Structure 1
Amino acid sequence: MDASTTEQQRATGERAELIVSLERHRGFLLQTAEGLTEEQARTASTVSALTVASLLKHVADTEEQWFRFAVEGAPAFGTEHEVYGENVDWDAIDAEAATNGGDGSGSEWEDDRFVLSEHETLEFLRAHIEQVAARTEEVLRSADLDTTHPLPVAPWFEPGVSWSVRRVAIHMLAEISQHAGHADIIREAIDGARTMG
C-alpha cells in the first residue's frame, strides 16, 4: 500500500464529506466557464459588474486565504490596513452604499477582489483553482477540524469570535455555492447555457 492510498483512506467520515462537497461545488463553478471564449468569460452580461472569469478568480483567492487562515490564523489576512488601505471610513462607506442602492458605487474604497489582470486567462484561473483545491484537501485531511483561530479585525466580523477549521470549510462551501449560482446566471445571459435545470 503506497502513501497516497493511505492518505485517501484517512479522509473518511466528516473529512471526506467536506472534501467531496467542496469539490462538487467547485465543479459547478468551473462548469460555467466550459466552452467560453476569453472575451465571453470577461463579459458582464447582467446588471452586475461580475463576470464568470472574475468569479473564478475571487473564489480561488478567497479559498486560498481562508484555508491559510485555518492553518495560520488571522495573519493569513494581513492587517486591515494592508488589505483595505489606510484610513478607510467604513461607516461612511456603509452610509454611501445605503444611499446608492447598496452597491457601494461612488465609495472612496474600491473592491479589487474581482479585478482581472491580463495574465489571468481561463487556463490560468482553472489551474489556480486546482492548485488551491489540492491545498484545501491537504489541510482537511490533516488538520484537527476543531482547531480554532480568532477572526481578523474587520467591520463585518463580530469581535472576539473564533472559527474552527470545520467552520472555515463550511463557510467556503457556502461561498463557492453562492458564486457558482452567480456565474450560472451570468453564463445563461451570455449564451443560454446553464449548469443545472
Structure 2
Amino acid sequence: MNAIAETTAKQAPAGERAELIATLERHRGFLLQTAQDLTDEQARTASTVSALTIASLLKHVADAEEEWFRFAVEGARAFGSEHGVYGDDIDWDAVDAEAATNDGDWAETEWTDTRFVLAEHETLEYLRARIEQVAARTEEVLRTADLDSAHPLPVAPWFEPGVSWSVRRVAIHMLAEISQHAGHADIIREAIDGRKTMG
C-alpha cells in the first residue's frame, strides 16, 4: 500500500461512523432527488393540501441538520435565542395555555413557526449547495466526535425534561427527520408532475 492509500485508509471512517455517514447521505440523496429537474417556481409550489413545498423542505432539513449537529458539539446554546423553535425567549407554558383555548391548535397562537419560510435568495441552486455544505460539516462531526458525548436537550414541549442526547442520538434523529421529509417531498413532487422517487 502506497503512502496516499495508507493516509486515505486512516482517514476513512469505519464501522458505526461509516454507517451513520453513509445512511444520512443516502436519505439526503432521496430528498434532493425530489427536486431534480424542477424549476424554482415548481419547487415553491404547494401542490397538496399541505403548505409545504419541496424548496421549504430542503431549507428546513438544511437548517435543522446544521443546528442539531452544532448541538451535538456545543449543547443547547447552539440554538440560541435567534432560533425561533428552541430560543430561550419562548414561554412554552404560555403557548400551550393559548393553544388549549383553541383545541390544542398551536397555529392559532402568537408563536409562529418560521422554519419553512423561504427568503427570496433561497433558490434551488442555493438550497442544494447549502445541503451539501451542511452535510460536509455533519460528516466532519461524525468522523471526529465521541459518539457517546451527550448534552441536555433544549426546553420545548415535545422533549421530556432532563433528557440528554448523544452525538449518536442526534445522528439517528436527523436520519428520521430527513427520511420523513423526503417522504413528504416525494408526495409533493408526485402531485406536481407525477414523478416519484421510488415506485
1:167 and 2:183 matched: no
- Identify if the C-alpha distance between structure 1 residues 159 and 79 changes in structure 2 by more than 3 Å, giving closer, same or farther: farther
Equivalent of 1:95 in 85, 93, 100: 100
1:45 and 2:50 matched: no
Between 86-95 and 23-32, report the one with greater CA deviation: 86-95
Unaligned runs of 5+ in 1: none
Report the equivalent of 2:157: 155
- After TM superposition, the score normalised by the length of structure 1 is 0.90
> In 1, are the aligned partners of 2:95 and 2:110 still within 8 Å (CA)?
no
Report the equivalent of 1:14: 16
Residue 90 (structure 1) shift: 2.2
Quick one: distance in 2 between partners of 1:45 and 1:81?
A: 28
% identical aligned pairs = 75
Measured against aligned partners, the alpha-carbon deviations of 1:122-166 in whole angstroms (never above 9, x if no partner) come to 000000000000000000000010001111122221111100000
- Identify if the C-alpha distance between structure 1 residues 64 and 195 changes in structure 2 by more than 3 Å, giving closer, same or farther: same
> In 2, are the aligned partners of 1:90 and 1:155 still within 8 Å (CA)?
no
- Identify if the C-alpha distance between structure 1 residues 96 and 46 changes in structure 2 by more than 3 Å, giving closer, same or farther: farther
Quick one: distance in 2 between partners of 1:12 and 1:97?
A: 50
**What letter corresponds to residue 18 of structure 1 in structure 2?**
L
- Identify if the C-alpha distance between structure 1 residues 166 and 87 changes in structure 2 by more than 3 Å, giving closer, same or farther: closer
Quick one: distance in 1 between partners of 2:150 and 2:176?
A: 19
Equivalent pairs, count: 193
- Identify if the C-alpha distance between structure 1 residues 34 and 84 changes in structure 2 by more than 3 Å, giving closer, same or farther: farther
> In 1, are the aligned partners of 2:99 and 2:108 still within 8 Å (CA)?
no
1:5 and 2:13 matched: no
> In 2, are the aligned partners of 1:28 and 1:195 still within 8 Å (CA)?
yes
Report the equivalent of 1:75: 77
RMSD over aligned Cα atoms: 2.1
- Identify if the C-alpha distance between structure 1 residues 168 and 145 changes in structure 2 by more than 3 Å, giving closer, same or farther: same
Report the equivalent of 1:176: 178
Unaligned runs of 5+ in 2: none
**What letter corresponds to residue 70 of structure 2 in structure 1?**
R
Quick one: distance in 2 between partners of 1:26 and 1:44?
A: 21
Quick one: distance in 1 between partners of 2:70 and 2:155?
A: 16
- After TM superposition, the score normalised by the length of structure 2 is 0.90
**What letter corresponds to residue 42 of structure 1 in structure 2?**
R
